[in-house]
Amino acid sequence: MDYIEQAMNRAEKSNCKTDTNFFQALKEVLVSIRPLMDAHPEYKTHNIIERIIAPNRAIHFKIEWLDDNNGVQVNNGYRIQFNNALGPYKGGVRFHPSVNPDILKFLAFEQIFKNAITGLHIGGAKGGADFDPKRKSDKEIMKFCQAFMTAFYNSIGADIDILGGDIGVGAREVGYLFGQYKQLTNSYDSIITSKPLALGGSLGRTEATGYGLVYFTQTLLEDKGETLKGKICVISGSGNVAIHAIEKLYDTGAIPVTCSDSKGTIHDKNGIDLALLKKIKLERRASLEYYATERKSAVYMKKDAYTDDSSHVWDIPCYAAFPCATQNELCEVGVKALLANDVKVVAEGANMPSTPEAIELLQQHKVLFAPAKAANAGGVAVSVLEMSQNNSLHYLPFDVIDNRLKEIMGRIYKDIKEVCETHDMELDLLAGANILGFQRVADAMIMQGV
Ligand code: NDP
Ligand code: 2IT
């Protein structure tokens, strides 16, 4: 048994058997860093795998809050401060009923390498709560955010751990979380990003993940002599990432024809009406079924059950597919449907949206594959630009941020390509991204001693 297999076995023994998402993320990284481990025996000497795959600190806290009927509600809150070798912990906060320690551990683990890949000085973390923001009043959202922050504010700080947005956490929630931190500490420190502009947020942060995803995909396609212009694209999700991916796809001349939410999928053969989509999902926070009632060219396909992964998005013929909703939403069945329609590129906007079987099938069929760690890194990269603007008090115009984002996404692609060349590998963006991220973190850990 070699060093990688030994580390994997030990991880299986020391972690919960139910940590299936974490093991999926772990396995993907460990399998792909083999060329790096062969070229750098010093990593084994420093036992670097075992040190990287264990979180520095995992905080589990209770959140008690009062609903609008003065009923006492209790939720579980978490923050996984996984690795801070490259800089202070950084990563989003997710509010969704499915949140559990396994999901946050996989997200925090992925975040370490994603953040390293950006080339910026941030460590990896993730947090959240099993709270369902749906059908809650604005006051209940505020109460919950305040209770969440009160429960663990003393574990974060502008140089320690900086929170951000994720599923169920946008500008509204970030505003309340920030307000409560200020109330408790009397400080306006930059302890959270994706803030509303009035509270020191950055222009371009709302758009950054979706725009960055399209910039990365364009860079990859240009390198292959291809373009998105005039191409049919399918997108899953209809939140922050999906909406801004659709917006940028239109700028490139592509035709985005789908979006989805937890209840169903829209196929609009004339192209998604972005203004209508924003009105329904961002203003009304309503279900996508209303899109079809207001737009004749659209078909609404309802999901059978909340957990049903047959989203129908992948059945629509397309050139490029962008999973932008949640983990493991693109399975083997979905890939088979995409392949039957001759898909050319799959670029991940969500974190770990493709199952291992789905990725294997895409790779077997030589479909261009842009992995989440690289393709959706634009969001956290602009979060760092927000932190730097907060610290310098010098705020930048939208164009400057957007150009920096383009530059960062282009550089990520170039760095991954170089890694593949260094290890005599064919261009494999998944393995290249894992090697690049792992190496940067491992080197920083070794420099800091045990
Ligand atoms: P939002 O909360 O804005 O939107 C999430 C979207 O995904 C909604 O349309 C939601 O549907 C849908 N969704 C969530 N869970 C499920 C599910 N189990 N099945 C089907 N649909 C689901 O989140 P974001 O757009 O910010 O995040 C989307 C993904 O992108 C996540 O994986 C996140 O981790 C990742 N990401 C986000 C970044 C950011 O900057 N925000 C940065 C990098 C990655 P509904 O409206 O019905 O709830
Ligand atoms: O997964 C992610 O990269 C995010 N949710 C963004 C994190 C952040 O801190 O901006």
Q: What CATH number is associated with residue 261?
A: 3.40.50.720
pLDDT at 17: 74
pLDDT at 58: 98
CB 299 within 8 A of CB 291: no
Counting from 1 in the atom list of ligand 2, the atom nearest the Cα of 164 is 9
382 contacts: CB under 8 Å, gap ≥ 6: 202, 204, 205, 208, 212, 401, 404, 405
Does a structural domain hold residue 292? yes
Give yes or no: residues 225 and 172 share one domain: no
Nearest to 258 by CA among 271, 248, 247, 249: 271
Pick the ligand that lies closest to the CA of residue 93: 2
Q: How far is CA 129 from CA 27, 144, 180, 444, in A?
A: 25, 10, 17, 31
Counting from 1 in the atom list of ligand 2, the atom nearest the Cα of 163 is 9
Query: Which residue type is seen at 148?
Result: F
For 261, the enclosing helix (H) or strand (E) is: none
Give yes or no: residues 57 and 113 share one domain: yes
Does a structural domain hold residue 376? no
Nearest to 363 by CA among 343, 380, 349, 382: 343
Give yes or no: residues 172 and 223 share one domain: no
Cβ–ligand 2 distance for 92 under 6 Å, the answer yes
pLDDT at 307: 47
Does a structural domain hold residue 381? no
pLDDT at 14: 78
Kind of pairing between the strands at 72-83 and 124-129: antiparallel
Q: CB neighbours (10 Å) of residue 429? A: 23
Does a structural domain hold residue 409? no
% of the chain surpassing 90 pLDDT: 94
CB 312 within 8 A of CB 330: no
pLDDT at 136: 97
Closest C-alpha to ligand 1, atom 30: 350
Does a structural domain hold residue 217? yes
Give yes or no: residues 218 and 104 share one domain: no
Counting from 1 in the atom list of ligand 1, the atom nearest the Cα of 205 is 40
Does a structural domain hold residue 256? yes
Report CA(59)–ligand 1 centroid distance (Å).
23
φ/ψ (deg, to 5) at 46: -85, 5
CATH number for the domain that contains residue 77: 3.40.50.10860
Report CA(269)–ligand 2 centroid distance (Å).
32
Report CA(67)–ligand 1 centroid distance (Å).
25
Closest C-alpha to ligand 1, atom 19: 262
Nearest to 429 by CA among 359, 351, 386, 374: 374
Among 332, 366, 400, give the residue marking a domain's end.
Answer: 366
SS (HEC) of 281-292: HHHCCCCCHHHH
Q: What are the tokens at 235?
A: 């997108």
Query: pLDDT means per 10 residues in the chain (450 residues)?
Result: 88 82 96 96 96 97 98 98 98 98 98 98 98 97 98 98 98 98 98 98 98 99 98 98 98 98 96 98 95 96 65 95 97 97 98 98 98 98 98 98 98 98 96 98 98
Dihedral (C-alpha) 328, 213, 432, 25: value to the nearest 10 degrees? -20
Determine the Cα–Cα distance for residues 301 and 307; give it in Å rounded to an integer: 15
Q: What are the tokens at 378?
A: 């634009």
pLDDT at 305: 55
For 5, the enclosing helix (H) or strand (E) is: helix 3-14
Does a structural domain hold residue 201? no
Kind of pairing between the strands at 258-260 and 255-256: unpaired
Query: Which residue type is seen at 79?
Result: R
Pick the ligand that lies closest to the CA of residue 192: 2
Catalytic residue among 126, 143, 248, 281: 126
229: left (phi over 0), alpha (psi -120 to 50) or beta: beta
Among 326, 351, 366, give the residue marking a domain's end.
Answer: 366
Give yes or no: residues 131 and 280 share one domain: no
Among 309, 336, 366, give the residue marking a domain's end.
Answer: 366
Q: Which residues line ligand 1 (CB under 6 A)?
A: 165-168, 209, 237-242, 261-263, 324-326, 349-351, 376, 379
Give yes or no: residues 149 and 220 share one domain: no
Report CA(181)–ligand 2 centroid distance (Å).
19
pLDDT digits (tens, 9 = 90+) for 158-208: 999 999 999 999 999 999 999 999 999 999 999 999 999 999 999 999 999
Q: How far is CA 342 from the centre of its chain?
A: 26
Please state, rounded to an integer, the average pLDDT across all residues of the chain. 96
pLDDT digits (tens, 9 = 90+) for 246-288: 999 999 999 999 999 999 999 999 999 999 999 999 999 999 9
Cβ–ligand 2 distance for 202 under 6 Å, the answer no
Looking at the structure of the chain, the number of domains it has is 2
Q: Is 195 a catalytic residue?
A: no
Determine the Cα–Cα distance for residues 122 and 333; give it in Å rounded to an integer: 37
Give yes or no: residues 156 and 34 share one domain: yes
Cβ–ligand 2 distance for 128 under 6 Å, the answer no
Give yes or no: residues 163 and 222 share one domain: no
Cβ–ligand 2 distance for 349 under 6 Å, the answer no
Pick the ligand that lies closest to the CA of residue 211: 1
Find the angle CA(19)-CA(24)-CA(27) to the nearest 5 degrees. Answer: 115
Query: Which residue type is seen at 405?
Result: L
Give yes or no: residues 162 and 89 share one domain: yes
CB 214 within 8 A of CB 252: yes
Report CA(349)–ligand 2 centroid distance (Å).
11
Cβ–ligand 2 distance for 94 under 6 Å, the answer no
Report CA(128)–ligand 1 centroid distance (Å).
13
Does a structural domain hold residue 391? no
Closest C-alpha to ligand 2, atom 4: 92
Pick the ligand that lies closest to the CA of residue 201: 2
Provide the angle, in degrees to the nearest 10, between the axes of the packed helices 205-223 and 240-252: 50
Give yes or no: residues 168 and 228 share one domain: no
Give yes or no: residues 336 and 215 share one domain: yes
Give yes or no: residues 247 and 344 share one domain: yes
Counting from 1 in the atom list of ligand 2, the atom nearest the Cα of 90 is 9
Nearest to 363 by CA among 35, 108, 28: 28
Range of the domain at 44: 3-190
